[in-house]
Structure 1
């Protein structure tokens, strides 16, 4: 039997994510052997030796400039434990976490919907009765909060009920598309606020202050308090649901929007008249920049941004230790298709492997990967050699 070695041509980088690992040692199916949580998972590459104890990490932290090293080693510990954990446990943990967060997520969504509807009425009253451009900017944002809630709720329901014959990739991308459309709408309306505020600055004559309207300030202050509570509640749930993630960003933005709107409206009534339209311009620009970043991030998901490096390492390790029938892992790619990942794995098996066995191994590996958290689809390709150019790559045109 050939000595186990790592090919000198092995590479791993985030753009191609290519790794070549020899698997010539005789060993049982690692994944099945480590399926029981009562047993210590098999560790063929002895990566468990890289785990440091809490005492050792604390010793690193006490060194001069050792906090960064300790933080890095803590991440390495978490990565090694994740690699050694059987895929079934990853799936079960994700299901348990989803089940535990289902009710809190639903409360966050419906509480935001009800609160935003009430606050929309309250803030539009404040904007109209006071005539303040800064409060108008906060009122327009509150109107779009309602639109955000309704759009996200409808898209989520639509994504779940899509006909798989007409939409074979599923509806996960609908929420991403909805966020992009909503972001462009927010930007367009706030451009109108900027234009109106600029027109007021240019055409204003005299230094007369705007009248101070206390009920409007109280109304917006009440909205600020409610948004603060919603922000705190959704903070811990923001990574549990894409809907809550957008709502959390919305509540976060509303905190500074409403707070700054109150300050600039009061300043326009008590200090200088131009503070109110300037405040409206700043608020509108802040909303455009914030949603511009969100739209950019959502475009990255639609364009196929690579999955995090830690996830790629997990898939590579699980494929490499899946069974001794797999001689090498040639290529691993994982990329976004909406909020979830598409995973491509190229494995190498002996050229004399029967077709039925090659099919069964690749199908079992594909099934294992597809039940991992955040994986939408997985594709496993079997080859008999690894010297070729990676599969599924269209040659670039020279013209």
Structure 2
């Protein structure tokens, strides 16, 4: 009986020690604190951003599936619409130059004069874009790959011209303040001209944004700046006439500064495309999906490189297939894949290399 009691006591002590050890280990575990309001908000925004990006990628997959089965590149079918939009913006700008000239003469406002400068530069921008589009459509044996990269050059030239013109307008406004020559006079005719011009440009801007290509995006940004210029010029000219005359000059300086910064930033964003920056991850994913699903005899993707040569990209893709496949079979697999990739809206040219071993292209 004594031995049995001793054994029971030892087992209880052993269980107690094990329980205490487990309790100590649990206490040593660091329990993360509950995230605060801002942290939860950040996590929610990141999750929302991820889900939106995933949804856009899936939509791109579906769009690519339709494009690669089509007979001709979609941009050729949409070229007429782009040309019509550019022509409309061009002739609209000519009309608005005359209208803004009248408004500037009637008001004597620096803010409204900035709209005239902006409209004149719009005409220059539209001329540059039209020339680039016309040159890109011409067939020249000296340019075997065409002149599609002129699109990017046109965007950069437009940005430089707009930036320089608005900086010049800023200096003119500062000089007017120093010389005390600011004297705006707001009239009903000036208001009607500016409001009508802004309304028409807003409608055209919405159409350009829906188009989504580089030409129309450039025009949409230009129209957005025009609308902002018109609204701020209208308000500042009125304030300068009714309350404080220097608000007119300050309005011109503010608007021109914003436009100059926007176009300079646009130039800096496009320069990497001319240098040869890598394509984004979404485009890489779209290329890989098409390559993987193209033919079951493609065993591996050995190497892929996608980089810009202007507005569009060049694709270098190395695929691995069975070394015993005949040349005719490998050609019949790689050539249709190359044609599929060339139909994508962001691809200018693709090169498919077939190999029998995965060597990483060293």
**TM-score band (shorter)?**
0.7 to 0.9
2:190 equivalent to 1:216: yes
Contact 2:109 2:185 in 1 (8 A): no
Which structure 2 residues correspond to residues 83-94 of structure 1 after superposition, within 5 A?
A: 83=61, 89-92=66-69
Q: 1:93 to 1:263 in 2, by over 3 A?
A: farther
SS at match of 2:300: strand
Matching of residue 301 in structure 1 with residue 301 in structure 2: no
Q: CA deviation at 1:70?
A: 6.9
Q: How many residue pairs get matched?
A: 320
Partner of 1:156: 133
Partner in structure 1 of residue 142 of structure 2: 166
- Say whether the 8 Å CA contact 1:91–1:373 is kept in structure 2: no
**1:321 paired residue number:** 293
Distance 1:113 1:375, change over 3 A: same
CA distance in 2, matches of 1:68, 1:93: 36
Q: Is the 8 Å Cα contact of residues 347 and 382 (structure 1) preserved in structure 2?
A: yes
Stretches of structure 1 that go unaligned for 5 or more consecutive residues are 1-64, 392-399
For 2:337 and 2:224, locate their aligned partners in 1 and report how far apart those are by CA, in whole Å.
41
Q: What is the alpha-carbon distance in structure 2 between the residues aligned to residue 96 and residue 362 of structure 1?
A: 19
Aligned to 1:229: 203
2:153 equivalent to 1:177: yes
Is the counterpart of residue 132 in structure 1 residue 101 in structure 2?
A: no
Q: How does 1:68-87 map to 2 (within 5 A)?
A: 69=47, 72-73=50-51, 76=54, 79=57, 83=61
The answer as to whether partners of 1:87 and 1:368 remain within 8 angstroms in 2 is no
- Cα distance in 2, alignment partners of residues 353 and 96 from structure 1: 31
Q: Which residue pairs with 2:341 in the alignment?
A: 369
**Greater length-normalized contact order (CA 8 Å, ≥ 6 residues apart):** 1
Instruction: Name the TM-score, length of structure 1 as normaliser.
Output: 0.71
Change (3 A) 1:78 1:249: closer
What are the ranges of 5 or more consecutive residues in structure 2 without an aligned counterpart?
Answer: 1-42
Matched, 1:186 2:162: yes
Measured on the aligned residues, the alpha-carbon RMSD in Å equals: 3.0
Q: Which moved more, 1:359-368 or 1:221-230?
A: 359-368
| Aligned counterparts, 1:326-341, within 5 A | 326-341=298-313
Deviation at 1:112, TM superposition (A): 1.6
Matches of 1:359 and 1:106, distance apart in 2: 38
SS in structure 1 at match of 2:152: helix
Aligned 8 A contact 2:107 2:190 in 1:
yes
Per-residue displacement from partner, 1:155-181 (whole Å, max 9, x unpaired)? 111101141x31233211101101111
Corresponding position: 1:249 with 2:221: yes
Once structures 1 and 2 are overlaid, which stretch shifts more, 241-250 or 136-145? 241-250
CA distance in 2, matches of 1:96, 1:295: 28
For residues 307 and 142 of structure 2, the distance between their equivalents in structure 1, rounded to whole angstroms, comes to: 23
Q: d(CA) in 1 for partners of 2:53 and 2:160?
A: 37
Q: Which structure would you say has the larger Rg?
A: 2
Question: What's the counterpart of residue 110 of structure 1?
Answer: 87
Shift of residue 387, structure 1, vs aligned partner: 3.3
Q: Give matches, 1:53-68, under 5 Å.
A: none
Between Structure 1 and Structure 2, the one with more helix by share is 2
In 1, Cα distance between equivalents of 2:180 and 2:80 = 52
Report the TM-score when normalising by structure 2. 0.77
Q: For the residues of structure 2 that align with 1:182 and 1:150, how far apart are their CA atoms?
A: 9
The 1-side partners of 2:193 and 2:63 are apart by 54
Change (3 A) 1:150 1:123: same
Aligned-partner Cα distance in 2 for 1:177–1:123: 29
